[in-house]
Chains A and B, each alone.
Chain A
Amino acid sequence: MSEQQAEHSEDRAAARDATNWAKDVSRLNVGEVPEGAINLNVEGRRLTSPIQGFGKMWQKTYQVRLPVDRVSAADLIATWKQNFPDFWPEGNHFYGSITGIEPGDVALLNMTMPGKMKLSTGVMVLYADEESFTLMTPQGHMFAGWITFSATEAEGETVAQAQVLMRASDPIFELGLTFGGHKQEDRFWQHTLGAVAAEFGRPDAEVDTQVVCVDKKRQWSKWRNVWHSSAIRSTIYMLGAPVRGIRRLFA
């Protein structure tokens, strides 16, 4: 490779870097809050990787296969990014940018948990390109880590995948995940992958699930993460709803 070609290649790599990754932020900043969204447990929070989490570390992979002549990997990811909230199970809301998924975007999540408990949290788009995108969680989220959504083409098939790399954020979420939370999460992403397949005319496509425990050890030094728990803070917020209603009446 000539010096000029090498420089050109480096320029392209630098351009990819700048375009695909979120800019470095120390704390999350929520922009305009969409109507109906609860903005709680996101503003000012730090991002958390699995290194900062409490529980066992898991890698969960959900895959669905579609004929490549029905949809290419690039088209699948473009559609997934553009309509991301539409594929989620009912009762769970992703309030992101109206333009889709872009690196650095902060989205609010209003989720329905077992017992119809409402949980408000968020994610940041860490990375996005034509073949994949990754959402990273903030402090207080049920897990510390990220989810990468990707699509690849192999042997006449387009494989859509969601892969979660996570630790439960704190001891309470670890308990919740152990006693039913993991199964609920599996159902959540199986539903999502199924909905993506249905979008491309394969509503009965089977979703493969692979769960690997990467680290059986719990990080007890991180038990204090419970201070930021979105479950506790969302519950307190919901319990305060009648008081806020009365205050509004007299304001």
Chain B
Amino acid sequence: MPDAATSLNVRAALDGVRVIDIKGDITAASEDVLMDAYGRASESGARVITLNFTDLDYMNSGGIGLLVTLLVRAQRNRQQMLAYGLSEHYRQIFELTRLDEAVGIHDTEADALAAAGGS
């Protein structure tokens, strides 16, 4: 069931690098839209998936669980996962849940793309 509180846009940033722009809330109810966006981002053989959290309103523990599942799917497909635009609070949540050990965290899209380009 689509979650009205979440809207995800997929765009190409560099060759082999796709950005998923997240707008709204990420909760357990976002599973279908998030996995659909990941599927679209991976269609053209992307090697780096970048999550843009700039317009994230809210994320609960169900949302963090979804990100872990997404990360596993990306690792299975030999893709690197990056993130940028996290508020200070959600940076801390990534550290608390130790997601930051597997997802490269950057301040801006330019930083993330620079890291993706060099990977």
User: Are B89 and A49 in touch, CB under 8 angstroms?
Assistant: no
Q: Give Cα A22 to B61, complex, Å.
A: 11
User: Are A16 and B61 in touch, CB under 8 angstroms?
Assistant: no
User: Are A59 and B69 in touch, CB under 8 angstroms?
Assistant: yes
Interface size class of A (residues with CB under 8 A): 35 or more
- Min distance, Cβ A12 to any Cβ of chain B, angstroms: 9
User: Are A150 and B28 in touch, CB under 8 angstroms?
Assistant: yes
Could you tell me the dominant secondary structure of chain B's interface residues?
Answer: helix
Interface size class of B (residues with CB under 8 A): 20 to 34
Binds B, one of A30-38, A50-58, A105-113: A50-58
Which residues of chain B are within 8 angstroms of A163 by Cβ–Cβ distance? 65
For B60, the closest partner residue in chain A by CB is A127
7 extra A-B contacts, CB within 8 A, seeds A127-B61, A132-B61, A165-B65: A13-B57, A18-B89, A49-B98, A51-B71, A51-B101, A163-B65, A217-B76
* 8 tightest Cβ-Cβ pairs between the two chains A and B: A127-B61, A134-B61, A24-B92, A215-B72, A24-B96, A49-B98, A17-B89, A51-B102
Which A residues contact B (CB, under 8 angstroms)? 9, 13-14, 16-18, 20-25, 46-52, 57, 59, 126-127, 129, 132, 134, 136, 146, 148, 150, 163, 165, 214-215, 217
